[in-house]
Structure 1
Amino acid sequence: MATNARDDASNRTFDEPVSIDGGSHLEDVTSANDVVLVDFYADWCGPCQMLEPVLEQLASTTDAVIAKVDVDDHQQLAGSFGVRGVPTLVLFADGEQVEQYSGVLPEDRLRDLIEGYTE
């Protein structure tokens, strides 16, 4: 999960999901970008694995940044968002948390959520 970034004046455009390496990194990403969808996941989670290609598609086809937080590596960060199960998706707009969902959502629903905050 490498990042493919292009630096602009204030925002970065990511063509694939960004791996978050801690709370300050997540704060940097959410504050520097208009819309960020954060996937709290685990490698061993079957539904998380099903969601991964959907998130990769959204990263390459929407204006939102898709970020991924491994809950096994970042238990405290996941706990601070009340993550009780994986996958949990948290949507940020203008640096503020605006939506949170547990479980797998279909691509069209995720796209509609993102577009609701990017238009």
Structure 2
Amino acid sequence: MATDAHRDAAGQSTDEPIYIDGESHLDEVVEEHDVVLVDFYADWCGPCKMLEPVIDRLASETEAVMAKVDVDANQQLAGAYGVRGVPTLALFADGEQVEQQTGALPADRLRSLIEGYTNE
């Protein structure tokens, strides 16, 4: 593992997506990091699978933390964020939700969206 890997307070590498287990876990991740991109996904979703390598790459290439929420396992959490379709991407900056997009966005558009909040 690279020595310059991003780490969260628990020492977990943030160069890979963090799989969220419930609302309190998501709240912790959002509170702990400046910029968090949350990918609400489902295993059966084709566009979600196409987006997965993009999310993995952005985790290691940007300052943002990538978080993944399985909507089937976390239906209440998805409902709380108004997720009606997957993939839905929610961007948090400084603990507040600042963007929400439904659909698989191209890597360059996601990178621009993230960098609008990480390069201030």
Q: Would the TM-score normalized by the shorter structure come out above 0.5?
A: yes
8 A contact 1:19–1:67 mirrored in 2: yes
- Structure 1 residue 12: Cα displacement: 6.8
Corresponding residue for 1:114? 114
- Write out aligned runs for 1:1-119 (5 A): 6-7=7-8, 14-119=14-119
Tell me how large the CA RMSD over aligned residues is.
Answer: 1.9
How far apart, CA to CA, are the structure 2 residues paired with 1:77 and 1:36? 16
2:54 maps to a residue whose letter is V
For structure 2, the residue ranges without an aligned partner over 5 or more in a row are none
> 1:25 and 1:64, CA in 2 relative to 1: closer, same or farther beyond 3 A?
same
How far apart, CA to CA, are the structure 2 residues paired with 1:20 and 1:65? 12
- Structure 1 residue 6: Cα displacement: 2.6
How far apart, CA to CA, are the structure 2 residues paired with 1:30 and 1:96? 8
How far apart, CA to CA, are the structure 1 residues paired with 2:19 and 2:12? 14
> 1:101 and 1:7, CA in 2 relative to 1: closer, same or farther beyond 3 A?
closer
Deviation track 1:32-80 (CA, whole Å, cap 9, x = no partner) reads: 1000000000000000000000000000100000000000000000000
8 A contact 1:91–1:97 mirrored in 2: yes
Larger % of strand: which? Answer: 1
Tell me the secondary structure at the aligned position of residue 15 of structure 1.
coil
**TM-score, scaled relative to structure 1:** 0.91
How far apart, CA to CA, are the structure 2 residues paired with 1:6 and 1:107? 23
1:38 maps to a residue whose letter is V
How many correspondences in the alignment? 115
How far apart, CA to CA, are the structure 2 residues paired with 1:90 and 1:7? 20
How far apart, CA to CA, are the structure 2 residues paired with 1:34 and 1:112? 16
Deviation track 1:7-34 (CA, whole Å, cap 9, x = no partner) reads: 46xx975011000000000000001100
